[in-house]
Amino acid sequence: MAEVNLDKIFASFILSLEDVVDVSELTQIEKEYLGKGSVLSEERAKLASLSNDDKKKYGSLLKDFANKVSKKLESFKVDFEKSYFTEKEKSENPDISLDWFSKKGTRKHILTNVMEEVVDIFASLGYTVAHGPEAETSWHNFDALNTPDWHPARYESDTLYLDKDLKNLLRTQTSTVQVRHMQDNKPPVYIVAPGRVYRSDQLDATHSPVFHQIEGLAVDDGITFSDLKGTLEYFVKEFFGKNVQTKFIPHFFPFTEPSAEVLVSWKDGEWLEILGCGMVDPNVFQNVKYPSTTQGFAFGVGVERLAMLRYGIDHIKNFYENDLRFLEQF
């Protein structure tokens, strides 16, 4: 009856498993012991020639053998992969303290970042963004803003002019946008105007011939000094944090009255100026042909100053040199 020693074959099967190095070899082993041309398939072919009784007995033996091999293969595979992956992961242990990727930052210029943040705060209060030309008329930059002919800001030592007659200039403040916006729009007006301004200053630690301001203007029925105060206090808390205190001290600007400077509480109990503001002077409304009963407030804030304060930036030149060592920090 039994012409082959199944136990011996099984032993050789077990032996062949010991040499397995890759899981894909198992397919070959399976084929060798269970597939076409295997001893098993040859023995099965012989079953037809056996008596019913022997067929039954021997068939059952072969079936047991096949099951045993399959089962062993399956458990071997599970164990093999398990130990294979364990070994694989054991070898994969890089030094995570390394930083192979260089620092990049947001890539947005920090001045843009600050301007966007300020604009967003005011957008949440219902202000839209207005803009105007940087090369401006003296009228928009000075006269319309109630700055008399003899005012020191108009000196050529302070302002960059574009002609001999001093009719055109590079705007020294974003307040020019107030004027243009009011000339083109009826109240109510709620705008912020971020942009570049120019002064006749050499580039040093705290001065730059080019810098950025954000102008704000609210003109509406019943706008009061209390509204100005509440608005700027809200802005300071949103921008610098809830714990930062604000104080208002009287100041003078030709285009607002009353005028104030806003100071914020800083480290070591120091108070720092961060913006100028006030109720729009009636002369400004008159210059843009608004009715005499109009009222509103305006403010202006230096973008470089906000950035320097918040991040402790020591030199205004950094903003305009665009050294990647600076840019990638933000």
89, 100, 289, 312: which one contacts another protein (CB under 8 A)? Answer: 100
Return the SS3 of 171. Answer: coil
Cβ nearer to another protein, comparing 77 with 196: 196
Residue 16 to residue 6: CA distance in whole angstroms: 15
CA separation (Å) from 85 to 74, 179, 320? Answer: 17, 72, 54
16, 57, 117, 282: which one contacts another protein (CB under 8 A)? Answer: 282
Six-digit token string for 281: 């002077």
Contact between 212 and 110 under an 8 Å Cβ cutoff? The reply is no
Contact between 255 and another protein (CB under 8 A)? no
Contact between 252 and another protein (CB under 8 A)? yes
Contact between 242 and another protein (CB under 8 A)? no
Residue 319 to residue 308: CA distance in whole angstroms: 10
The site that binds another protein (CB under 8 A) totals a number of residues, namely 89
Identify which range of 40-48, 59-67, 122-130, 307-315 contacts another protein by CB under 8 A. Answer: 122-130
Residue 24: count other Cβ atoms within 10 Å of its Cβ: 8
219-240 burial: b if 16+ Cβ within 10 Å, else e: beeebeeebbbebbbebbbbbb
Contact between 275 and another protein (CB under 8 A)? no
| Alpha-carbon torsion angle 88, 91, 93, 99, nearest 10 | -100
- Convert residues 141-180 into a mask of x (bound to another protein by CB under 8 A) and - (unbound): ---------x-x--xx---xxxxx-xxx-x----------
Identify which range of 44-52, 58-66, 67-75, 316-324 contacts another protein by CB under 8 A. Answer: 316-324
230, 272, 311, 314: which one contacts another protein (CB under 8 A)? Answer: 230
Contact between 101 and another protein (CB under 8 A)? yes
20, 25, 72, 225: which one contacts another protein (CB under 8 A)? Answer: 225
Contact between 244 and another protein (CB under 8 A)? no
Contact between 123 and another protein (CB under 8 A)? yes
Identify which range of 28-36, 40-48, 54-62, 252-260 contacts another protein by CB under 8 A. Answer: 252-260
Nearest CA to 233 among 267, 260, 194?
260
